[in-house]
Structure formats: structure tokens, C-alpha cells
Structure 1
Amino acid sequence: MGTATAGLAAVALLVTGCGSGGSGGSGGSGGGGADAAASGTPSAPAGTAAPATASTAGAASTAVGAGVAGRPADPCSVLTNAQVSAALGGASQLLAEGPSTERPWSCTWGSRRAYVSLRSVDDASFAQLTANPAFRAEPVTGIGGGAVQLTRASDGSQPELLFTVGAGHYAIEAVADRGATDSSNTPAETSAEQALARLAVAKLGG
């Protein structure tokens, strides 16, 4: 009887140990899936992504921009809220909304009235944008390795500045009034874009 009891206890102990190990493995696998979903990469498995945070988005941007030397992992660290607000005249305070989870290496600073966005641009998109006949492209000197100011060819509205620092291409867009659709704010917006790009170059490894 004593021998039988000891044998049963040993079997129970082994079963319990196997159950615990399986649970731990499942938890580790689940954590990886949540991180992949939060990163927004094409290889992420289908499912509900965890709420976006600066740390998860920063990790995603690090993976996407690993080949760009000297660039911060967090795009929102390139410019301060005060710098962005001042560039658009200081009438409203623009606050960083956190790294984008939809675009690789992108940040937006915004208020109810205005916003500024900074994002990375791949080689193909940079070439397409600068050659697109729908936009007027004007070279701008003194910003990184070269910059081009884009505006709509039809009416001079919707300015956006493309610039290069090292191996990376970037776009910065300033919108002084979300409700405006004409070119009345273009001078102020282009001035803000170029001023902020000059500030950003130093943080981007230029």
C-alpha cells in the first residue's frame, strides 16, 4: 500500500509540472503576438491589437528605421511642442499625439485648429512626389542634404516639404487652419515647415 501511494503521488506531481510548463509557454507566445499586432507590421497575425503606447510604437519604428543611422526611435522626440507651436505663430499650443501606429516613423503635433506632421518617406515615394506634375517642386537650400518645397500646381495650396538627411528621406507638413482649403495660409505654412525641418536635421543625424 505504501509503495502504491508513493507511485500515485509521483505521477500526480509529473502531471502537475507538465500543466504548468504548458501554461507558461502559451503565455509567452501570446505576449509575442500582442507585440507584433501593436507594431502594425504586415506579418503580424490577425487579431485584436493591444492599445497603442509610445513604447510599442517606438519599438515598431526602431525596427522599420533600423538602417537609418543617427535617427531617434521616437519621431516625436525630434521636435518639442514649444518649437512646433512657435513655428505656426504660437496662437495655439500644438501637442505631440504620440508616434503613429499606422505609418512607420511618423508623429503629429496638433490642436483643434492646426497641426504639424513629420514622417519618413521611402526612396520610391520621394522620387514619385518630387516628379509628380500635380505638384510644383521648388528646391530649398540649407536643409540637410537637399530639400524640395511642394505645393499644388493648380492653386499653390497644401504645401509639404521633403528633405533628406543621410540615408533617410522625410516629409514635414504644417497646416495653420484645418478648415482652410485655399492657398491663403501657404506662406505661413511653408515658413513653418522650413524652420522646423532645419531644427529636425540636427536630431536626425545631419
Structure 2
Amino acid sequence: MSKRHSVKYKIDRRLGENIWGRPKSPVNKREYGPGQHGQRRKGKLSDFGVQLRAKQKLKGYYGDLSEKQFRAIYAEASRLRGDTGENLIGLLERRLDAIVYRSKFVPTVFAARQFVNHGHVKVNGKRVNIPSYRVRPGDVIEIREKSKQLAIVLEAVQSAERDIPDYLQVDTNKLTVTFARVPALADVPYPVQMEPNLVVEFYSR
């Protein structure tokens, strides 16, 4: 188990929100932060603090990406035409691990990263083991034949915990998904409010 995987619920507690909407999240029982002084930290955040929190929340949601990775995605989003915040969400949702997670082939975004890493996924018929691989509209992602009977897959597909967004066309019988289009912020089913505009302000300082 990766270090990031093992501390996923600490991310929830640190931010004080159940960012993946999971029933097991400790935030459901304890809304305060972790540690000895967690219950005291209720002070009003500065503008910088609000922006930093928005960045940490978005970065954490996609598997606690490293700062270097996240900043590179932001830099690319800012170079594209249109709204930088919307571009940022579009680039994050095009990650292969994000699509595997959204398609409900695995239970968590951390499991999706590991699942892709271990070579269980094909894109347009070719095996891809890079979680950050960027999918394009029209690409078909499928679970390898040998991996379709894995318990983690069978349980996730039957779970009623999440809905599949309409920019993904999923065939739950064949365990394939077609990436129909790049989503806008409003299309993405985040369990909590994400504020990419604040992330843009954070990096624009």
C-alpha cells in the first residue's frame, strides 16, 4: 500500500470535509482536524488560506497529486484558450486514473492509480500503465480480460455509492468506457464544492 493510499482519510480530516463522499470517512464522526490541537483550529482563514485550502482540496481529491504534478497541470491549463479554472478541471478529468474511478471500475481514486499502474487497463486496445495518461474524446478504455473477475472490480461495479457522469459512456457488462467529451466544472459530480477559480488566484499571486 502506498503512503498516500494509507493516509487518504487524514486528507479528509485535515480539510474538514468528506471530499470523496465516502461513508467510512472519519469526518462523518469528527469534523475537526487531526492532532492534539485539531479542535481549536476554527479561526477565520485569510484570503491566502482560503485559496490554499481550495488548492489542497482539489489536489487531494485526485489522489493527493504531488505539488510538482499539480502545478504542471495548472501551467498547461493557463496556456490553453478559455477559462483557466475550467481548463484545469478538464485536464484533471482526462487523467486515465480519474476516468477508471469515475466509471466505477474501482472504489477509490487511490485504487484507480494502483489499478492502472499494475497494467489492468487498456486504451484503444493497447495496455497503458501510466495513471496520468491523458485520454482524448472518443478514446475507449477497457479492463483487461484477465482482470474483469477481480473482487475489487466486481464490488465497485455493483456499488450504489456513486453515479457515473454523462460525459462517460460506460458498458458495465463489457467493462468498457468511451470518453465522450471533456467536461466542464458543472458536469463533474464532486461530493463537495470545488473552487478552481480560487486555485487560479492562488497560483496567480
Normalising by structure 1, we get a TM-score of 0.28
Whichever structure has more strand as a proportion of its residues is 1
Normalising by structure 2, we get a TM-score of 0.28
- Highest RCO, 1 vs 2 (Cα 8 Å, sep ≥ 6): 2
